[in-house]
Every structure is written in structure tokens, then in C-alpha cells.
């Protein structure tokens, strides 16, 4: 066993998870819960494999249509559905999911758990421990799963934490938390299947777009977290002064 290949396969997901954890600096979730979501995300590989194999058996298309079906339905819909299910079932109703940034954090940890196992399967087993494949996936594929998850968490948080939203708007955001990352994921895979060499500049522009949009979303929710933290500190100080006056 080449330990170097295992490290190359595992490190990207772990580093990105730590990065997201550090960005959530005002009200961090318990590490134990984040680890649980990460490992449940890793376990979601099992139903994903079963469903993807079933859907691949239904693929009657070829050429561009076959690539479209595989990218958007087999990979995009299936993988985003099960990663989202991890958060919906084990984090969405938890007391620690109480501000918008939490949705992004939970979704990213679930996605990176999945992406880490997927990366191991590709880098260590499928491509005969190819270092080049490991580096390319570490730079592109694993971060892509994180970016799809940021979008998912962005909409899940609006579904839960938007106080001024109507019931219909919340349902709309809940639906977007699945089909928007599915479309982003499908587009990413579709370009790769058509040939990244042929569509290299389109692919680079698309990856740049993913980073730009999702960095903006993280900044928006980080500022929201900061404001929540500031307001909570101010309220605590006011209550402390009131208690001192009463005494």
C-alpha cells in the first residue's frame, strides 16, 4: 500500500473541512457533531452507488444526450440528493442549526465526507494509484463538491432561518437547495464528459464563476453571523447591567 497516495486522496477534503470550520469563527458548531455529519456524508456513498448503478442501467441515450443524462441525473441529482438528506435528517432540526452560516457548514461537511470517499475510490483504486489523477481531483473535483454544498447550504438556511419569508417562499428555498446544486454539479460533469481539452476555457470560466458566487455567499452569511454575535453580546451586557441595578 502506497501511503502517499492515500494521503493525496484524503488531504483535500480534510483541509477544506478545517478551512470552513475556521471561517465560522463567531458561533462554531460542536466538533463532535461536525464529525458525525462528515462521516454520515461519507456513508452516503453507499446508497449513491446503488442508485447510480440502477440509473445507469436505464440509460438508453448515447453521445451528448447520454453525457447529459449521466451528468445531471445519474451524478448531479443522485449525489446532491443523498448529501442533502444527511443534513436534513441529522442537522436541519438540531438546536445548533440556528443561523444562516450553519447551513453552509453542515452541507459542506456532508459533501466533503462524500467527496473524500469518492476521491479514495478514484485515486487509490480506479486509476491504479495515479498521483496525477489525485492532484487534479484534489484541485478540481473535491473543491467542486464543497462549492455545490455552499449553494445547497445557502438555500437550506433561507428555508429555515428567513424570518420574513412566507411558507411558500420557504418551500421554494427548500426545493432550490436540491435542484440548484444539482444543476451546478451536472454542468460541471457535463463539460468534463464533453472533453475538458476541447472546452478548456469554458470549463475554467465556469469554475471561476462557481468560486466567485459561493465566496460571495460565504461572506454574506459570515457577516450575518457576526451581526448575530454582536447583538447577542450587546443583549447579554444589557441584561447584566439590569441585574446589577436590581441588586
Is 182 in a helix, a strand, or coil?
Answer: helix
Rounded mean pLDDT of 137-165? 95
> Which H helix or E strand runs over 46?
helix 45-57
Whole-angstrom distance, CA of residue 158 vs CA of residue 145: 20
Which cell numbers in the block locate residue 156?
437550506
Residue 202 DSSP label: H
Give residue 229's pLDDT: 82
Whether this model's pTM surpasses 0.85: yes
Rounded mean pLDDT of 216-238? 81
Q: How confident is the model at residue 163 (pLDDT cuts 50, 70, 90)?
A: confident
Which cell numbers in the block locate residue 121?
475510490
Q: pLDDT tens digits for 99-122? A: 999 999 999 999 999 999 999 998
Q: Report the first-to-last Cα separation within the chain, whole angstroms.
A: 68
Rounded mean pLDDT of 63-84? 97
Q: What percent of the chain has a predicted confidence (pLDDT) above 90?
A: 79
Rounded mean pLDDT of 205-227? 97
Give residue 230's pLDDT: 82
Rounded mean pLDDT of 166-182? 97
Residue 41, C-beta contacts closer than 8 angstroms, at least 6 positions apart: 83, 86, 109, 110, 111, 112, 113, 114
Whole-angstrom distance, CA of residue 173 vs CA of residue 164: 13
Amino acid at each position: 500500500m502506497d501511503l502517499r497516495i492515500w494521503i493525496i486522496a484524503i488531504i483535500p477534503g480534510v483541509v477544506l473541512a478545517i478551512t470552513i470550520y475556521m471561517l465560522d469563527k463567531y458561533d462554531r458548531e460542536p466538533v463532535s457533531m461536525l464529525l458525525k455529519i462528515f462521516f454520515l456524508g461519507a456513508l452516503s456513498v453507499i446508497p449513491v452507488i446503488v442508485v447510480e448503478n440502477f440509473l445507469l442501467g436505464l440509460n438508453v441515450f448515447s453521445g451528448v444526450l447520454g453525457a447529459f443524462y449521466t451528468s445531471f441525473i445519474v451524478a448531479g441529482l443522485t449525489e446532491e440528493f443523498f448529501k442533502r438528506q444527511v443534513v436534513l435528517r441529522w442537522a436541519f432540526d438540531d438546536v445548533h442549526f440556528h443561523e444562516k452560516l450553519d447551513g453552509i457548514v453542515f452541507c459542506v461537511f456532508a459533501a466533503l465526507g462524500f467527496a473524500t470517499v469518492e476521491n479514495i475510490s478514484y485515486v487509490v483504486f480506479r486509476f491504479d494509484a495515479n498521483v496525477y489523477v489525485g492532484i487534479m481531483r484534489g484541485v478540481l473535483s473535491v473543491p467542486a463538491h464543497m462549492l455545490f454544498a455552499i449553494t445547497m447550504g445557502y438555500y437550506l438556511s433561507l428555508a429555515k432561518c428567513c424570518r420574513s419569508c412566507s411558507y411558500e417562499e420557504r418551500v421554494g428555498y427548500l426545493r432550490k437547495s436540491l435542484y440548484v446544486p444539482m444543476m451546478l454539479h451536472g454542468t460541471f460533469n457535463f463539460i468534463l464528459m464533453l472533453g475538458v481539452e476541447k472546452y478548456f476555457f469554458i470549463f475554467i470560466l465556469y469554475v471561476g464563476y462557481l468560486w466567485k458566487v459561493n465566496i460571495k455567499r460565504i461572506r454574506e452569511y459570515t457577516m450575518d453571523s457576526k451581526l448575530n454575535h454582536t447583538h447577542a453580546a450587546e443583549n447579554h451586557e444589557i441584561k447584566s447591567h439590569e441585574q446589577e441595578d436590581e441588586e
